[in-house]
Amino acid sequence: MSATNGLTIAVPRGALFKETVELLSSLGLDTSELSSNDRKLLFEDIGVITMRPSDVPTYVESGAADLGITGKDVLLEQAGHGSADPAPREVYELLDLGYGRCTMVLASKTGPDPAAEALRRLGVMRVATKYPHIAARHLEETGRQAEIVEVKGSVELAPLTGMVDAIVDLTATGTTLREHDLIVREEIVECTARLIANPVAHKLRAPEIDRLLERLRAR
């Protein structure tokens, strides 16, 4: 039996990957191939599958993985929006792993806030984001009308070209924002890496999951 007690864990490639591998390694998992082979997806011998962070809840919800690690930003975004109808993924959120800390912010160009001006004079602000649900929920909860523009790549480009008045994006250090002459106007929510579990595995594999949780809490 491996260090993960025979459980399958969905591991996110990308920003959370390095610290996730360190975490698994600290649990006694042999992560040498995991960190050296970035083309392989399935590491059956150690019970790990790798994917992009936003796919982790999908695999865990379906039961293809028992556990997963992903950012709170991903979980919030996939819960959808609309205060009357939140529909989070059918997964357990078990533990705040503490790493990958970053903040979801509303930012706009330095100087007089173009978003505030748009809101005052046009009645609506245009906001570009990779997180349309989080952005819409935040603006709705703060009573502002907004047009959400979903982009897939560098969000910083959108306000610089005048396409939008502001952006909602994740920032860790603020460096990228500063480099593009953007400043943080509002902090929406702090996000860290979370351990999630499939609802059926949470019941049927309770002893294994609780043992792992205990070791993670004791770190």
Partner 1 sequence: MIHPIPSGTRDVLPDETREVRAITDALRGVFERHGYGEVYTPALEYESVLARGGHTAQGAGSAEAQPAYRVFDESGAALVLRSDMTVPIARVVATRYPNSEPPLRFCYLAHCYRGVRPQRGQPRELLQAGIELIGAPAPEGTAEALGVLCAALDTVGLEGYRIGLGDASLFPSLMAALGVSEQGRARLLAALVSRDFVGLEQELSDLDLGAHERELLLEVPQRRGGPDVLAASNGVVADAAANMRQVYELLEPPVAERVIFDLGLVRSIGYYTGAVFEVYDPALGAPIGGGGRYDELLGRFGRSLPAVGFALGVDRLHTALLGEERGTGASLS
- Please give the residue ranges that form the binding site for partner 1 (CB under 8 A): 6, 8, 61-66, 80, 85-88, 90-96, 194, 198-207, 210
At closest approach, how far in Å is the CB of 193 from partner 1? 11
Task: Judge whether 15 and 72 are in contact, CB under 8 Å.
Answer: no
Would you tell me how many other CB atoms lie within 10 Å of the CB of residue 123? 9
Q: How far apart are CA 65 and CA 62, in angstroms?
A: 8
Q: Which is nearer to partner 1, 36 or 84 (CB)?
A: 84
Q: Which is nearer to partner 1, 48 or 158 (CB)?
A: 48
Q: Which is nearer to partner 1, 45 or 179 (CB)?
A: 45
Q: How far apart are CA 184 and CA 27, in angstroms?
A: 38
Q: Which is nearer to partner 1, 89 or 126 (CB)?
A: 89
For 44, residues 6+ apart whose C-beta sits below 8 A from its C-beta are none
Q: How far apart are CA 67 and CA 25, in angstroms?
A: 16
Q: Which is nearer to partner 1, 49 or 168 (CB)?
A: 49
At closest approach, how far in Å is the CB of 187 from partner 1? 16
Would you tell me how many other CB atoms lie within 10 Å of the CB of residue 53? 23
Strand partners, 195: 69, 95
Closest CA to 200 of 65, 31, 19: 65
Q: How far apart are CA 89 and CA 77, in angstroms?
A: 10
